[in-house]
Structure 1
């Protein structure tokens, strides 16, 4: 059989999945790999993006791309996926944010701003942010998103204003401020970014934050309050508070809840959003400490025997059927429905170092080392404590290895944290007080 004309798919690269690998390359002083990735994905952004005759915004970054190798011609072709091949056909909202954050990490690591200063990169940043900062009907500074638009890439009830996207949005905006040129094209965008950051930080820090005091306030909310004097601004029904949250909330401790929208608060804990909030300084120093207090107080629930829960708790029974659409991959305590993901090691390690608690990082890394090599570096683990290798988990998963390597390198050399962490902006640190209509 003549196979000379067969085109072979060699591999597929996901933008978000590559991020921990990129950090590993940067920390190992191999920036050229990261530079090539940034430029390749930037070129894909310029492609025409259509799904069923509908054209996506110019700023959308691909979720992933395939590399097609033609052995006869010895050529490679990139095929981008902007959501038209994704499960559920959802465009990746987070890809553009990861790209901006990685460009800033590359610049910080190398000390070379020439890549970010190129007209191509400047245009790429502007396209992404123009898409996000466009005017609309929304009354909130947060981004309205569909289910499956981020790491939680299946239907999991995160539609609305998921904390993962809001934290990444905030971090990307701050990185963009450091990367954009103050020329005629960038000046107006910088002003928009600055205003949005102030509104976004206030909104998230105020309305997404949950601690013992705030939980007690919500428990005693009055409803159907009209006008600007309302205390219960989103008309959240106290009866919607889940039973588990009362036992889960320690004192002291707190976290950013999964979602806030009209008459709906998703009280689930999402690891990525809370860790990014710490790294980006979206969380105030007090809030960052409270997040780490919660993690230590609820170690068994959030870490268990294999770090680290992507969200807590899992959806079960009738609620699982309605919200996930009976998704067999997202059964309780599996995959994105309460599964444990080793890639999150680097995020927790970075957050631990930034908050001055490296002992937490060492504890989770020591725990992971007892399992990961022997289990052949699986994608995720199942079970309430993360005891079992995921029922559909791929082995030798690149970002599982990369997440571990980055965590180890940062713990050995905490100065590497500067590549990815952002310091607090004093101008964005107003006293955390609700408007005068709040008690």
Structure 2
């Protein structure tokens, strides 16, 4: 008998986590292939068109929710273990936004395709407003949250999610520079997760989910907090790490996600390509070059074993459970160095410019599952 592929949607994964991000990456990579080769025949295959529609139908279906963002369980993305990313995690929203923009370019202009395009545009406008307005944090916004009043209601409420100012973590006041900002990790009723996530912020730049001003501010923050976010081995997957009681509650005492390890503030070489692509797009290639210089020196020191991740506050140690010769560590470096720094024209495969048609329509939707603000 010949070999067959058996689909796994998380039912065999550690913790039985559902990979929400994988469908989005498939659409993004299909667009990257089409842009790179100039060959649209693959994307136009009935199987690929059907695949996109199936993925989009799941994401665009009406659900019992009031936000345009996607509601997800823990472990739904690169951070595939219990790490407090349940709710509306930034990485998923950035991938969702990017995949929707890719689908607009790839779907055929037939009856089914046109119907999806209308739904996509409606969702994109709501999503881009929601993310730019409620996920963005800079010094001014931090000060506004610090002074929030609570228990407000109606559409005139300033503190729309009833966030308690006392829930602001102490570290955020020192971490936030005078110049700079970033998209926070999660926003939901009475909850704002203020941790920095590299992947979501870089994807926001590449997809133009971030405005040009916000993109510049993200790069300003990275430069201002270089030691914390880049350190001795780029790039921190998130910052800061959780410890003690917070770690016990957030991870369930996960021995793999101890402080400054793995997904709890570990440093991941695979993220080099995202940092590089984002910095080149915003006209700051020196950020990418400096990060690559640090990574290359460290990888040579480690006999080019390509560890999966590094541990420690500055990323000084090979991860205690890091696997070696990891394909994605190698690929992350090669894409960053060979495809982005040495030939920035490749950036067009993965990036989008601002689309004037995505400006939100400032009216209230009749939809029962989200609002167009």
TM normalised by structure 2 equals 0.95
Match of 2:143 among 213, 216, 229: 216
Q: Secondary structure at the match of 1:210?
A: strand
Q: Secondary structure at the match of 1:76?
A: coil
Q: Secondary structure at the match of 1:228?
A: coil
1:398 aligns with 2:327: yes
- Conserved in 1, the CA contact under 8 Å of 2:234 and 2:294? yes
Deviations along 1:36-59, one digit per CA (max 9) or x if unpaired, are xxxxxxxxxxxxxxxxxxxxxxxx
Residues 12-411 of structure 1 mapped to structure 2, 5 A cutoff: 75-375=2-302, 376-409=305-338, 410-411=340-341
Q: Distance in 1 between matches of 2:54 and 2:152?
A: 40
Q: Secondary structure at the match of 1:137?
A: coil
Superposed displacement of residue 137, structure 1: 1.4
User: Could you tell me which residue of structure 2 aligns to residue 428 of structure 1?
Assistant: 358
In the alignment, structure 1 segments of 5+ residues that lack a partner are 1-72, 433-439
Cα distance change of structure 1 residues 76 and 372 upon mapping to structure 2, 3 Å threshold: farther
Q: Secondary structure at the match of 1:77?
A: coil
Superposed displacement of residue 252, structure 1: 0.9
Deviations along 1:124-175, one digit per CA (max 9) or x if unpaired, are 0000000000001110000000000000000000100000000000000000
For the aligned residues, what is the CA RMSD? 1.2
Q: Distance in 2 between matches of 1:298 and 1:328?
A: 28
Deviations along 1:32-81, one digit per CA (max 9) or x if unpaired, are xxxxxxxxxxxxxxxxxxxxxxxxxxxxxxxxxxxxxxxxx7x4332332
Question: Relative contact order: is structure 1 or structure 2 higher (C-alpha 8 Å, sep ≥ 6)?
Answer: 2
Superposed displacement of residue 215, structure 1: 0.2
Q: Distance in 2 between matches of 1:245 and 1:317?
A: 18
In the alignment, structure 2 segments of 5+ residues that lack a partner are 363-373
Deviations along 1:280-324, one digit per CA (max 9) or x if unpaired, are 000000000000000000000000000000000001000000110
Deviations along 1:312-343, one digit per CA (max 9) or x if unpaired, are 00010000001100000000000000000000
Cα distance change of structure 1 residues 80 and 373 upon mapping to structure 2, 3 Å threshold: farther
User: Could you tell me which residue of structure 2 aligns to residue 415 of structure 1?
Assistant: 345
Superposed displacement of residue 90, structure 1: 1.4
Q: Secondary structure at the match of 1:79?
A: coil
Bigger shift: 287-296 or 87-96? 87-96
Q: Distance in 2 between matches of 1:306 and 1:298?
A: 14
Q: Distance in 2 between matches of 1:269 and 1:394?
A: 25
Q: Distance in 1 between matches of 2:174 and 2:86?
A: 26
- Structure of larger gyration radius: 1
- Conserved in 1, the CA contact under 8 Å of 2:9 and 2:18? yes
Structure with greater strand share of residues: 1
TM normalised by structure 1 equals 0.81
Cα distance change of structure 1 residues 79 and 372 upon mapping to structure 2, 3 Å threshold: farther
